[in-house]
Homo-oligomer: A and B are copies of this chain.
Amino acid sequence: MFRVTNQPIDLNELVAYVTDPEAGAIVPFIGTTRNNNEGRKVIALDYEAYPEMAEKELARIGDDAKTKWPICKMAIVHRLGPVQIGEASVIIVVSAAHRDAAFAASRFAIEEIKKTVPIWKKEVFEGGEVWIGTQTGQPLSALK
């Protein structure tokens, strides 16, 4: 299950999806909106995607993880639109026979998402808003 959605993400549904009689470990990763970033008071994050390609890239990450580690099942759901403080913007869940593989695949997935999946976040903070970008060495001020 690799998708983007405008709805709140249901952690239980994802854990149920990856639960497997062969699995001894399930590692979810939940990315949440933090109330501060680089000294700014964050009000919310607002996510936008190129949805068809984002889902394709998320599935590609799942395929890559399966070739790298002996995992049972994996799911990634990324939320779009405004995500309030404390809410989940992304949930990755991995099940595996052993915890090493589950931790490694989870970690891999979140790093890959931040590198290659066409999803963008705009940070809405007290006094303004800014598109956050990690592929550029430019100061944020140059981007907006």
What are 10 A-B pairs at a CB distance below 8 A?
A11-B12, A11-B15, A15-B30, A19-B32, A20-B86, A22-B35, A24-B33, A26-B30, A27-B28, A103-B107
Query: How many residues does chain A have at the interface if contact means C-beta atoms less than 8 Å apart?
Result: 31
Instruction: Provide the main secondary structure of the chain A interface.
Output: mixed
Instruction: Scan A16-42; emit 1 where CB is below 8 A from any B CB, else 0.
Output: 000111111111111111111000000
> Beta-carbon contacts of A94-130 to B below 8 Å, as 1s and 0s?
0101010001001100100000000000000000000
Asked if residues A28 and B25 are in contact (CB atoms below 8 Å), the reply is no
Q: Determine the chain B residues whose CB is within 8 A of the CB of A49 once the complex forms.
A: none
For residue A85, CB closer than 8 A to chain B, the reply is yes
- Give the residue name and chain of the B residue nearest to A27 (CB): B29
Q: Which residues of B contact A106 (CB under 8 A)?
A: 27, 103
Check B103–A99 contact: CB distance below 8 A. Answer: no
Q: Is the CB of A99 within 8 A of B35?
A: no
Q: Which of B25, B32, B85, B86 contacts A25 (CB 8 A)?
A: B32
